[in-house]
Amino acid sequence: MQVAAQLRTAWRDPLGVISAYADEPWTLALVSGGGGPRGRWSYLARRPEATLTLGAEDPRDPFEALAELLGPTGEHLSNGPPFQGGVAGLCAYELGDRVEALGLARSPGWPDLAAARYRSVLAFDHQLRQVTAFGRGFDEVEAEDAAFEAMTWLQTLPRPQRRGRLAEGLTGSDGAAYQAAVAEVVARIGAGEIFQANIARQWRGRLAEGVRPFDVLARLARSSAAPFAAYLRLERAAVVSNSPERFLKLDADGQAETRPIKGTRPRGATPEADAALAQELAASAKDRAENLMIVDLMRNDLARVSRPGSVVVPELCETESFANVHHLVSTVRSRLADGRSALDLLRAAFPPGSITGAPKVQAMKIIAGLEPPRGPYCGSLFWAGADGALDSSVLIRTLACRRDDAGWAVEARAGAGVVADSDPAAELAETEAKIAALVAALTGDVA
């Protein structure tokens, strides 16, 4: 059994520390908005001791491969941070093709799964304003050495914040084509094929010369902080996410949770307009029905690996406000069944129901016919602790970055949940509201 060690020290700005290591392959950063129960912790993990990359052609079972990478169960420190070392990485949307064989095409340059095992982690506690250097090993000396290694990461100097425009030539896909896709889905719902599907648009461009993918994360974190912002650097790719949405969470004691988002309104220009938009969302029968469909789907997904009768919905269609939008958010909880693990939970629920639709499999087939392969978008960045815990995000508000000879090509998407009474123009407007913060971060001329 692995043992754990931790060292605590004074507060440091996580973005400043992360900036020094952001260009290293396999640097992972989880950067919370710094407030509330879902914004308490940020993390930096780097220099993994083992990695795993599975492309579409790799015959291995990805969840079994993850379990092998994670290794034996480790000690859980009750006074430690939620992530106490283990495996973390990217599940691309098309990993869902390994759960249900749908013959999905793949996005060039992106594996189905990219994960690494980290024995050293820096955890930044925004609530107590302190930093914990956490380490794991097969004895106390190894664990203490790993914690000390993480502590040394604090000795570096931060990179300066990037000014000016971060991207060039950022262009969104045709709005008329998107409205036609929405209309097609509405017709297929009317024919009884599905109840709901999430259809997305693309924005593409390039980072300006000298701009790093991490610069985008740093700007987003300062201008529109989100509780599940994240960054993962691979060899010639990077994922930058400003997600507000949790996918799956599992405590070390077996309590599972998912928090699907369905229903959106933009923020108002004045306090009065803002409050009116939030009230409009809360009272919207369409948005509440959309949310309820996904709650039912997620209840079913969790029930596959949970104790009978343990699935509950303590919060239904609660209005939550973020920097640029209001959302309806529900909470589904359960107790994991005996003999089931965090990776069993991940397999049972992937990809997230909030960005596929209901029924999930048929919705995914329709999405595949209307969109190019998604890659990281609508997949998940996750960590699976050696102590059995798990947390993960839904990769919305996300920038996929690929390095080529000319620099960094970038792609972002924003989607909307389409139901029977969806209006194509309104769904188009919803995609604009959702992408607004990311576009502003990329194209704003920040002094």
Which residues make Cβ contacts (< 8 Å) with residue 110, sequence separation at least 6? 92, 94, 237, 375, 376, 400
For 187-245, strand residue ranges (E) read 196-207, 228-233, 237-243
245 catalytic? Reply is: yes
Token pair belonging to 384: 């699976």
DSSP 3-state of 215: helix
Which residue among the candidates 245, 371, 411, 430 is catalytic per the annotation? 245
Which residue among the candidates 249, 262, 360, 434 is catalytic per the annotation? 262
Contact 307, 336 (CB under 8 A): yes
Token pair belonging to 25: 């392959």
Q: What are phi and psi of 111, to 5 degrees?
A: -75, 165
Residue 315 host element (H or E): strand 312-321
Largest CA distance in the chain: 64
Region of residue 313 (left: phi > 0; alpha: psi -120 to 50; beta: else): beta
249 catalytic? Reply is: no
Query: Torsion angle, CA of 366/371/372/374, rounded to 10 degrees?
Result: -90
105 forms beta bridges with none
- Give the Cα separation of 169 and 116 in Å (integer): 34
Token pair belonging to 182: 């929405």
CA atoms within 13 A on the CB side of 299: 17
DSSP 3-state of 175: helix
Helix axes 424-443, 175-190, angle to 10 degrees: 140
350 forms beta bridges with none
- Residues with a catalytic annotation lie at 245, 262
